[in-house]
Structure 1
Amino acid sequence: MQEQSIGAMLSAARQAAGLTVAQVSAATRVRESIVQALEQDDYGQCGGPFYARGHLRAVAKAVGLDPDATVHQFDQHHGGAPRPMRASAVFQTDRQIHLPERRGPNWSMALGVALAVAVVFGILRVLGGAGDQVRTGDMHAASARPSVPPNTPITESPRPKPTVLSGKNVVTVRMKAKRSSYVNVHDAKGRKLFAGTLKAGKTSTWRAANRVDVLIADAGAITVHVNGKRVTGLGPAGQVVRRSFGPPKPQSR
């Protein structure tokens, strides 16, 4: 089985986030045609690998994927990351530098330059007087102390206690990736529990009340257990599936 392509992961993540190509383009300032090309693994419109990495990083962040992992996967399929340029390739030290011969000082030219500098300095002093006063006023205004009552006690707001899930309405979903695939997990209220790439060999578990909604970009790459029981028949390899799982049913006496 081949690993899911970058374009398929971007498309599945965008659909899971409920975004259109136009919305992704507006959020990233990447043209819609380039966003569509990236979802089809076509990098010809990017203008080279350097710009392709930048577009991939921006689009991946907008749809909820890991930008660094996405660019790393692109580098693995396109010759690796660019090598840093050595300083010796930019600066060539073997060239001989020819310095002009030292001659005696030219006092006439030095006197002329000194007079010109004095004239310019005097003009700037005359014209810049008002500007100096304005800048001084700005500095006094900026250095004014904030009006905060002295000896004011600093109180910290209490931190919320973590919610402990318990009871019969709790749903437990555990996923194990046979190969890397994009996964999106939400609870019954639509809150995101996870959105990203579940890498090959990794196992993750989520718990929520009443219901857990999942989206899997590659149904054949993920093994799912709900409330301790394995879920069968998710779908073939490469298929994007959406499923909802509820709490375990009470056993009849």
Structure 2
Amino acid sequence: MTLGNSPEDDRPSTEEDRPSIGRVLKQARISAGLTVDEVSAATRVRVPIIHAIEQDDFSRSGGDVYARGHIRMIAGRVGVDPGPLIERYDAQRGGRPAPTPAAPLFEAERIRPDARRPNWTAAMVAAIVAVVGFVGFTLFSGGDGGSGRDRPVAEGQAPGATPSQRSSGKPADPKPVPSDSAIAAVPNDKVTVRLAVVESRSWISARARDGRLIFDGTLSQGDSRTFQDKEGINLVLGNAGVIDLFVNGKKVEDDFRPGQVQRLSYTKGDPQVG
């Protein structure tokens, strides 16, 4: 008979020995003295979903993207670091898929003038040059009956001037050129959604109307993303109260609060909360 630890006591802990994701969240909630209803009120995650997650049943979450968001929000409320739990969740499902690059920002920093319209600025410059040249010619060239200085100076006419402008002798007014501060144009044939994180950080998932994943990740203060699709954009916003939201060129005025999870859907019409 021998004394001491058995070989089984010295073996390293395995994945099976560690508490499951649901058990970790449940123990942390109980340690924090919180009920499921209190966690639901703070995170906006429904009570049945929280109960299911604490039993390691993620089928009620509606998919991996939503499950990650639920784990992240619940862990933050009960005081647990969500990072290791998300990693374990992804490892149990074969790894997290690489996110699809976000749609490129629509190119509309300024409204470009139509190339087919007359360039009034160039016409005005040409008219001024013509006037100055004619004045110089009449002043310094000789002529019948005396010096050119004794003759009245003829007024030049701006090319493309209207009949009323020709009769008054005034050159045509140049058409204003749009400045760099003009509001960016939004394509009419697409749904355009822009998000900007104004403080803290927020987890965001964006999908096209056909279910294609456009973006899935976390944005920090100062970050922004723009998404486009021909039919519609479906969003899931974690910590929605820290986000400025623009849809089809219009800012969405909302009453989202920090810590809320919001599911939104937008189409080509006016901004409508889904």
TM-score interval w.r.t. the shorter chain?
0.3 to 0.5
**TM-score scaled by structure 1?**
0.38
- Which protein shows a greater Rg? 2
